[in-house]
Structure 1
């Protein structure tokens, strides 16, 4: 072969490698934006079911009315079922067939009986919402019953057409099953594997933003900080999604617990690295709160405080860490990656630690801890690899992981607590009564607007109650639906005019709208409503009932339905947003206390407990609190001071949760690690923190309590035994004390915005914590 030929081949190889890297980068960004590809799969599955149903029905020469009914039924049969196990999905889909047939039959029979039909519709709505108390299956069957009855109203079904409609529904359910189980199959194991990939992609994005923080100038630091906050929150979101799929997606409880711990270790290590980088770059000490509070600024000097040589080394090691994350796949072989990993792991043992300030050296140690966490994650997912290249530091890390894995085996999962509330105090019963009353109002008002399209008001009233738990959430959801509907009307007018009488072009655009509905639903309810309304304009075109007046009526009915839902939420068994947030806040404080007390007890020499499960409960409770405060932090919320307080409280709790998780992760090492030893003096610090949490929780529950918030001396001063030991900043003991100190400051800082009385000394401490 000539030199030119070899050069050409080499250039082609380089170009192909570059193209593969580019494609991998694009896929990583998409995977990170849609963890587990859940939105993509939902959209493809629904569109596939509709497309297959239309193809089968069209081959029978079915009328347009039945094509529309089949498409809508296939959509409902696909999106209503949310169970994770394949067997459970099949059972629910099978049970949905008689429910759908009964709903379409009753809709046809009652179509001409106005009063009886309206009464039954209200009863059906009550039953559909009440069935949510029976879990995913009850929710799915209630949704199928309601939506198929709605389909009968939409296509004006008559008794004479029932045989054809029965066949149409049977075909729609069969097509939904084929697409779900054969064309676009989804198993818990596959979903968990995709979620792990999304976690890896988001971890890589976080490390990339940390590198950007190191290079950012004073003018760009605010934008970089926003990116850093966003990527930190997205990584936490991916970790929570993995936790929700562990039981079904792993082979046994021990494997689930191991993966959960490794994901938590990686998340904590990455977040800690971000805090230390921010601290090294800042003009003064930066609190972890900076990573959680929107628009919080960090005091950056005009020039970076990091020396040029040290900055170059840190940038190099962060790039190496990013490489380890990007290559976190089982088919990577060779000596390059193990060499990079081993060098970074050496920082944990002070090996090769560059010279610099204590804050800078903390960054290098944090890089080493992050490399260890990535190694642990890879071992949990792919098993032991590359052991022949291990240095002593890497071998020690593997030994620690093996010891932890042995301690995890055999741990039993705790049983889920059941909701003990009964009667009208039960959330599902209360919501069923509210939506039934709101729907009755919507029927009456809708009849005045239109005797034919009144059901749009009922549908809006129904949907604003779905997945809401307070009056504020219903108001925000109603507002978003109205905005999306108005924009969708504009799009519907344009699409209907462009389509004209071209039936299959209209169906193709309907499919695009359906995909848009399901792809954007978790991101923006307004966008979902936009695609729904645009789709309806096309469906009306297919049914030859389209006009501008019909779409304007759609807006009016939507506004009426939202108003009726809000009226029912405010007047019938109301749940105030403040009451809802107080409940969730009390749960978060209780879970925080559980984690802190158990972690400190284990760090003090107590018996080992399952701290990972406790930390997971805390994360879940905090996520619920974050959702419940969205009406307070929404831009349309009128009380600006309350909005800022809610954001500050949530940010403080996120900071406390981070330090609690870090304590739990360190405490988990006590039984198996040679480098982490218990210290009985920590129990004193733990008592002060839990005492303060108890006082704040009692105030939130509006209970009388004795005592005051305790603060004053630092945690380190409290633990001074007279030996005047100087703790090395990189040591585990120093890290434990730092987390305890930040946790203590965070809890005291919560007292002021929550209105917990403070003595003069505590007032000063709380103000200092807030300033940090």
Structure 2
């Protein structure tokens, strides 16, 4: 985990910047004389601003950051106003859950704003905030967001040009309104959080919000039943390990300020550093940090950590029941959508490269390659449940692995093809046109195997230009043909589509 590849040390720099930004935000809040609860609220706001804002451009990130308090402060005011009114508070919380998830249809900005709104409501429950504390909490949130923004956009800007754009959710449905994937998932999230809220309150009238938080976060960045179930398992695993660490580290500290602050900073670093790679590790650091904060508040004891685990299990169970019984989407449906997007991406990369090699200066395959890489990231997330070590579906696991290997090979070949196409000396070769046509035909057969096979392209009538660039491009196209041919067996070798039923 901690020795995994980190191109450009991006994860390292992002994590270090998060520690700096959150640390300065908390210090600024504390310097104004605001109480500890306000400092915790400010630190959470800064963490969310640095963690969830993921627009593809710096300007977009700045706009989203400005909108965070516009969305979050009214929710904070509502949550504090409903303190002591359980029924109204619970109904409002579920409404925030629905709106927060449904906002994901607006892309990265909607996702960030939805998470921030939910966490502002959650924070008031965590801090047991009453209406009289609202001015101090709001001031802390505004100040912390300003400091975090200053670090992000002024003190320590991190360019992300080398990374592909984030992939949009797989188009499981082209419908609008209730048929939209974000709306469907919002209904599931409300069902899961409603179950977690009801059962969590039976177990504990004071700490029930942990169950709701668990159910909510399991739905972030998931699109299918399998993804949600695996994420729930990983959350429980990370929580168990974090509680064990809390018993060994947080409880003996008894909230001592200096070592607790240092360990919280280490946890913040761990959250940001491990989040792109392992949800379990991220939850380990989140759980340990929560224990340390409870220590600062003077309420930490072993029984509280045990209750944290119980609430986590309740939230994960609620999420599992919701994705199984409420508008379920199978892993196969989600994965099939990603595979189709990947195949179309391969065809577009090949076609754009062919145009460039044919002398069209406006053709640029590089953006298409970046889009394909982003789609493959989404496919890996979708297919992960079938590749999980505990998955009992051995045959489907084998076919899923073959699909992933073949598509990774396709990505390598189109990257090489794009690099050759960028060479201004690579001349047009009739064999390249024929090979590109064969690639398009191969993709067409994979996407629609029932269609009538297209005629093979005619052999070139003219003597080809044996330019080194053309030869390299032809080698990549042949490799691409072979990789696409290797997809036929795992995709359509069985009685059903390969990954069905998960």
Q: TM exceeds 0.5?
A: yes
Q: Deviation digits for residues 112-140 of structure 1, max 9, x if unmatched?
A: 11111111000001111112222333222
The yes-or-no answer on 1:174 pairing with 2:146 is: yes
Contact persistence 1:40–1:519 (CA under 8 A): yes
1:741 alignment counterpart: 478
Task: Check whether the contact 1:604–1:680 (CA below 8 A) recurs between aligned residues.
Answer: no
CA distance in 1, matches of 2:116, 2:403: 40
1: CA distance, partners of 2:263 / 2:359? 65
Is 1:71 aligned to 2:47, yes or no?
no
Taking the aligned partners of 1:731 and 1:156, their CA distance within structure 2 comes to 70
**Cross-structure match for 1:706:** 452
Q: Aligned equivalents of 1:654 and 1:99: distance in 2?
A: 40
For residues 233-290 of structure 1, give each alpha carbon's deviation from its aligned partner in whole angstroms, at most 9, with x where no partner exists: xxxxxxxx1x449xxxxxxxxxxxxxxxxxxxxxxxxxxxxxxxxxxxxxxxxxxxxx
Cα 1:84–1:747, aligned 2, differ >3 Å: closer, same or farther? closer
Specify the alignment match of 1:573 in structure 2.
Answer: 327
Q: 1:68/1:616 Cα in 2 relative to 1: closer, same or farther (>3 Å)?
A: closer
The within-5 A match list for 1:446-461 is 446-461=200-215
Following superposition, the deviation at residue 577 of structure 1 comes to 0.8
Report the Cα offset of residue 533 of structure 1. 0.8
SS at 2:379's partner residue?
Answer: helix
Contact 2:83 2:131 (C-alpha < 8 Å) held by counterparts: no
Residue of structure 1 in register with 2:127 after alignment: 155
Q: Report if the CA contact (8 A) 1:84-1:187 is conserved.
A: no
- Secondary structure of the residue aligned to 1:752 is helix
- Cα separation, partners in 2 of 1:731 and 1:180, compared to 1, 3 Å: closer
Q: 1:167-225 deviations in whole A, cap 9, x for unaligned? A: 3333323332343344x42154xx44xx5xxxxxxxxxxxxxxxxxxxxxxxxxxxxxx
| Residues in 2 aligned to 1:447 and 1:91: alpha-carbon distance in whole angstroms | 38
Aligned residue among 388, 393, 413 for 1:639: 393
Query: Does the Cα contact within 8 Å between 1:461 and 1:565 map onto a contact in 2?
Result: yes
Q: What are the residue-to-residue correspondences of 1:53-452 with 2, within 5 Å?
A: 53-83=25-55, 85-182=57-154, 184-186=155-157, 188=159, 191-192=160-161, 195=162, 241=163, 243-244=164-165, 421-452=175-206
| 1:594 and 2:337 aligned | no
Change (3 A) 1:614 1:136: closer
Distance in 2 (alpha carbons) for counterparts of 1:530 and 1:51: 20
SS of 1:592's equivalent in the other structure is: helix
Are residues 756 and 684 of structure 1, via their aligned partners in 2, closer, same or farther at CA, if it must alter by over 3 Å?
farther
Secondary structure of 1:754 counterpart: helix
Aligned equivalent of 1:257: none
Q: Which residue does the alignment assign to 1:540?
A: 294
| 641 and 709 in structure 1: CA distance in 2 versus 1, 3 angstrom threshold | farther
Quote how far apart the aligned CAs of 1:514 are.
1.7
Ranked by relative contact order (alpha carbons within 8 Å, sequence separation 6 or more), the top structure is 2
Q: CA deviation at 1:606?
A: 8.3
SS of the counterpart of 1:629? helix
Deviation at residue 667 of structure 1 after TM alignment: 4.4
Give the 3-state SS of the residue equivalent to 1:589 in structure 2: helix
Distance 1:496 1:731, change over 3 A: closer
Say which of 679, 683, 696 aligns to 2:446: 696
Q: Is the 8 A contact 1:54 1:67 kept in 2?
A: yes
Give the TM-score of the pair, scaled to structure 2.
0.87
Q: 1:612 to 1:74 in 2, by over 3 A?
A: closer
| Residue aligning to 1:629 | 383
Partner of 2:487: 750
Deviations 1:595-615 (A, max 9, x none): 334545665788973333333
Once the two structures are TM-superposed, the CA of residue 697 in structure 1 deviates from its matched residue by 0.8
CA RMSD between the two structures = 3.2
Tell me the secondary structure at the aligned position of residue 490 of structure 2. Answer: coil
Q: Distance in 2 between matches of 1:574 and 1:96?
A: 31
Rounded to whole Å, the distance in 2 between the matches of 1:685 and 1:692 is 10
Secondary structure, counterpart of 2:389 in structure 1: coil
1:652 aligns with 2:406: yes
How far 1:70 sits from its partner (Å)?
A: 3.1
Q: Which has the larger radius of gyration?
A: 1
Is 1:477 paired with 2:449?
A: no
Aligned counterpart for 2:336 among listed residues 576, 582, 603: 582
Answer yes or no: is the 8 Å Cα contact 2:345–2:368 preserved in 1.
yes
Contact 1:73 1:172 in 2 (8 A): yes
Moved more, 645-654 or 66-75: 66-75
Query: What is the alpha-carbon distance in structure 1 between the residues aligned to residue 473 and residue 152 of structure 2?
Result: 49
* 8 Å contact from structure 1 (residues 86, 187) kept in 2: no
Matching residue of 2:497: none
CA contact 2:26–2:43 (8 Å) conserved in 1: yes
CA distance in 2, matches of 1:139, 1:83: 10
8 A contact 2:441–2:454 mirrored in 1: no
Q: Distance in 2 between matches of 1:74 and 1:685?
A: 52
5+ residue gaps in structure 2?
495-502
User: Relative to structure 1, is the Cα distance of residues 64 and 624 closer, same or farther in structure 2, using a 3 angstrom cutoff?
Assistant: closer
Contact 2:54 2:112 in 1 (8 A): yes
CA positional deviation for 1:145: 1.5
Contact 2:247 2:302 in 1 (8 A): yes
CA distance in 1, matches of 2:473, 2:29: 66
Aligned counterpart, 1:498: 252
